[in-house]
């Protein structure tokens, strides 16, 4: 029986901890055993009912919208998603915060009992297990991290995540994570990079969405996910979320 989630025992935790201490961010390559990384990639590719997440600016208290799979396959739901996406594009054109990407909200799915005991629920359990939390505590130096939330994300053609800082400190957010399960031959021209920006808006570092790589970065910190062009293949796969101290 294949294992679902197993950390690579050869991770150089001290070296990654030094990198994080110097830059408040790090990419840990080959974070999982190859077998379990491929198993999770298969789950995201073949066994995830993708919905959509869209944000169209923040004026007037605008909030993110989510559309589950059952809705977006209907004519009415498809029209609603298209309207939301066009609104996001308009907001981005005005320099407002916006995004558009496919997702499966694991925490919401658990709370609403979409698939009790299902594989996505098991993935979140592994992200909250002592082995993973201890790895992140060691690398980040944050000994007070107590839990992780999570969602599966897919950045396909025309998807992006606008510049923002993840400032929800009051909600316990301390470290953002991106567990990349993208195809191994992902090309730079296909976008989907996690980019970090300075106060002048210049890119100071970028992480390619490598297969089986874990990005960790302290929040708040200015960052974005770059636009995925129409010619890019399907797609930039990951499990993402925040590690919290409460």
Whether omega for the bond prior to residue 220 falls within 30 degrees of 0, making it cis, is: yes
Domain boundaries, the chain: 13-48+105-244
CA distance 35 to 65: 35
Of all residues in the chain, the percent with pLDDT exceeding 90 is 93
Nearest residue to 67 via CA among 39, 44, 88: 88
Span 47-62, average pLDDT: 93
State the pTM of this model: 0.96
What distances in angstroms separate CA 129 from CA 7, 188, 228, one per listed residue? Answer: 11, 33, 33
pLDDT at 172: 83
Strands, E, within the chain: which ranges?
25-29, 51-56, 65-67, 98-104, 147-148, 151-155, 160-164, 173-180, 194-197, 203-207, 213-218, 223-225, 236-244
Tell the residue number behind the tokens 């996910």, with chain if given: 225
**The pair of three-digit structure tokens given for residue 104, joined into one six-digit string:** 């499966």
What is the dotted CATH code of the domain comprising 13-48+105-244? 2.60.120.620
**What proportions of the chain, in percent to the nearest 5, are helix, strand and coil?**
35, 30, 40
When the pLDDT of each residue in the chain is averaged and rounded to a whole number, the result is 96
CA distance 8 to 10: 5
Of all residues in the chain, the percent with pLDDT exceeding 70 is 98
Nearest residue to 94 via CA among 52, 51, 53, 62: 62
Helix ranges, 24-129 (H): 34-46, 69-72, 75-93, 106-111, 119-127
The 10s digit of each residue's pLDDT in 188-242 is 999 999 999 999 999 999 999 999 999 999 999 999 999 999 999 999 999 999 9
pLDDT at 1: 57
pLDDT at 123: 98
The 10s digit of each residue's pLDDT in 145-188 is 999 999 999 999 999 999 999 876 667 899 999 999 999 999 99
């Amino acid at each position: 029986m294949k294992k679902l989630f197993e950390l690579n025992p050869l991770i150089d935790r001290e070296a990654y901890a030094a990198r994080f201490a110097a830059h408040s961010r790090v990419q840990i390559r080959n974070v999982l055993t190859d077998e379990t990384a491929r198993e999770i990639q298969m789950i995201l590719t073949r066994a995830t009912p993708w919905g959509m997440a869209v944000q169209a600016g923040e004026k007037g208290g605008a909030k993110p919208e989510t559309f589950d799979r059952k809705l977006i396959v209907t004519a009415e739901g498809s029209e609603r998603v298209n309207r939301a996406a066009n609104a996001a594009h308009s907001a981005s054109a005005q320099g407002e915060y916006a995004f558009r990407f496919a997702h499966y909200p694991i925490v919401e799915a658990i709370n609403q009992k979409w698939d009790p005991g299902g594989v996505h629920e098991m993935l979140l359990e592994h992200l909250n297990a002592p082995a993973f939390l201890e790895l992140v505590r060691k690398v980040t130096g944050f000994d007070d991290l107590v839990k992780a939330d999570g969602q599966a994300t897919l950045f396909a053609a025309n998807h992006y995540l606008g510049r923002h800082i993840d400032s929800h400190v009051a909600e316990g957010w301390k470290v953002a994570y991106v567990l990349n399960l993208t195809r191994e031959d992902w090309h730079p021209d296909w976008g989907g990079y996690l980019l970090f920006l300075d106060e002048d808006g210049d890119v100071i570092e970028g992480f390619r969405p490598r297969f089986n790589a874990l990005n960790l970065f302290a929040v708040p910190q200015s960052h974005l996910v770059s636009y995925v062009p129409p010619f890019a293949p399907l797609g930039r796969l990951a499990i993402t979320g925040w590690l919290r101290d409460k």
